[in-house]
Structure 1
Amino acid sequence: MKKMMIVGLTLVAGLSLAACSSEQSSQNELEKIKEKGTIVVATSPDYAPFEFQTLVDGKNKIVGADILLAKKFADELGVKLEVSPMNFDNVLNSVQSGKADIAIAGLSYSEDRAKVFDFTNVYNSADNVLLVKSDTVNDYAKNADLASKKLAVQKGTIQEVYANENLTDSSVISLTVLGEAINELKNGKVDAILLDAAVAEGYAAQNPDLAVSTMTFEEAQNDGKVVAMPKDSPELKEALDKIIKEVVDAGAYDSYLEEVSKYTVVE
């Protein structure tokens, strides 16, 4: 009788666990976020003004326009915000593995990425430019001017893909952290960096020895900044797109950029 009772209890427990597991697996990404009460955002805080580290009351703090957007998401969804910092080349992997719910890291849409992730609508436009030493700013006008030059890009970015495919006469150097690329440029170890215009302008503003070249990369321009989430997340995408529309229509993202301009970047 005791054995029968134990077997019966085991079966009941097993069925309960199976039911819970089934319920969890049937939840969509938006429901999962709301149930746990937290949205985990993967980011790479070395990309001012989008996301970067600064000192607030003597302590390191991650700030940026993207972080303010993430806070807007959390507030509108009624959950807490948890920012998970990491190197840029790990940001998307974190979403794919389920360690983060979404990624906000100055990300640009690409067809290859869209095969693996869902993306929101664009929340900020983006151009690619060349950051160089101030005394060489007039040396670059066309792709041929980068021949035999050492060109730095951040690993995992669309700039890295573009450089490897289109600037084959250059020596493309992929670096994990953008701050490292900036130091390499200032020390003369690389000749230029290909990156987002807003980021380049921010570094140029804080470093008189650096400047943004007038050279353009029309074929390298992208459709703008987007938020990444797990593939097949229509409910989460719809919710975030609604918030993004409100932000864009109100011009709030430009206000975010202006708000974070008061902070000094800490490498």
Structure 2
Amino acid sequence: MMLLLMVVIMSACGQEQTTGAGSEPSPSSESGGAEKKVIVLGTSADYAPYEFHKSINGKDTIVGFDIEIAKAIAADMGAELKIEDMDFDGLLMALSTDKVDFVISGLTPTEERKKNVDFTDIYYYAEQAVLVRADEGESIASLDNLSGKQVGVQKSSIQEGIAQDIQGAKLTSLAKIPELILELQTGRVDALILEKPVAQQYVKNQEGLVVANVKIDQAEDEGGSAIAVKKGNQDLVDQINSTLEKLKTSGDIDRFVIEANEMLGE
């Protein structure tokens, strides 16, 4: 059952309620109050260009192409979007315990995850990449070269599973990507495994980092991002899939990706 919060907007208070997504409150009714649905998004806003923090007009704002998709979903439902930012490894638990209605966070619909939550159609595909310090770039030509090295990954991520399969690699699993970047820059880890768009953004914005020339083969369930909803909520899956199909057909998802990358460069 989808968790839907009902917000009562009292005209006597003379206040409008808005969210970090910038959606507009519903108008007050003649009786002095109006009900408006609120749908709650769970995300881990440390994964640019998918979702990240940016100061806009002096206000810390969560942005990214996943967030634009979430806004479109809320708009199609006639709901106000509320964003809950949390550690990546806590997202699916928050979904299962009704703390959020849906999760968008560059999430891959693996068979293991499907045991606990339901997924929409894939909305975006990205390759995996190995991020290293520039002076190590030429020495890492395959995943085998990471044997004996300290490899950083985000906790509970697809990349953690990839690293676990590298014979002899030693893992550092952390909740936040910026923490992993610091570990790499300070030499506490030798390489990171990230989705390629994320790795490329750090190369663009952080000196001394490069994407190694490594091809990472992926199983069928290790590619693509989808949106997670609580197990058994097929109605919400269908509603979101309808929005995703519209966004794909119109080219809006591609536009969201381009705009998110442009925001990172501003």
TM-score by length of 1: 0.84
The residue aligned with 2:236 is 236
The residue aligned with 1:29 is 2
Contact 2:36 2:80 in 1 (8 A): no
Deviation at 1:112, TM superposition (A): 0.6
Contact 2:109 2:226 in 1 (8 A): yes
The residue aligned with 1:20 is none
Which residue identity does 1:138 align to in structure 2? E
- How far apart in 2 are the matches of 1:243 and 1:219? 28
SS of equivalent to 1:262: helix
Which residue identity does 2:67 align to in structure 1? I
Alignment partner of 1:110 is 2:83:
no
Contact 2:143 2:166 in 1 (8 A): yes
| Deviations, residues 201-237 of structure 1 (Å, cap 9, x unaligned) | 1111111311111201113572300000000111111
Which residue identity does 1:168 align to in structure 2? Q
SS of equivalent to 1:232: coil
Contact 2:144 2:167 in 1 (8 A): no
Larger radius of gyration: 1
The residue aligned with 2:194 is 195
| Deviations, residues 130-157 of structure 1 (Å, cap 9, x unaligned) | 0111221111122221111110000010
Contact 2:154 2:174 in 1 (8 A): yes
Counterparts of 1:13-162 in structure 2 under 5 Å?
Answer: 28-29=1-2, 32=4, 37-162=37-162
Deviation at 1:33, TM superposition (A): 6.8
- How far apart in 2 are the matches of 1:210 and 1:132? 6
Which deviates more, 90-99 or 134-143? 134-143
Contact 2:154 2:176 in 1 (8 A): yes
Structure 2 spans left out of the alignment, 5+ residues: 7-34
| Deviations, residues 236-260 of structure 1 (Å, cap 9, x unaligned) | 1111001101111222111111112
SS of equivalent to 2:82: strand
The residue aligned with 1:182 is 181
Deviation at 1:167, TM superposition (A): 1.1
Which residue identity does 1:203 align to in structure 2? Y
- How far apart in 1 are the matches of 2:138 and 2:251? 34
SS of equivalent to 1:123: coil
- Relative CO higher for 1 or 2, CA cutoff 8 Å, sep ≥ 6? 1
The residue aligned with 1:168 is 167
Number of aligned residue pairs: 237
Contact 1:95 1:103 in 2 (8 A): yes
TM-score by length of 2: 0.84
The residue aligned with 1:13 is none
SS of equivalent to 1:121: coil
Contact 1:152 1:181 in 2 (8 A): yes
Contact 1:46 1:177 in 2 (8 A): yes
| Deviations, residues 154-212 of structure 1 (Å, cap 9, x unaligned) | 00101112212x11311111011110000111111111100101111111111131111
The residue aligned with 2:204 is 205
- How far apart in 2 are the matches of 1:220 and 1:152? 21
Deviation at 1:36, TM superposition (A): 6.0
- How far apart in 2 are the matches of 1:88 and 1:36? 29
Structure with greater strand percent: 2
Structure with greater helix percent: 1
Which deviates more, 250-259 or 121-130? 250-259
The residue aligned with 2:225 is 225
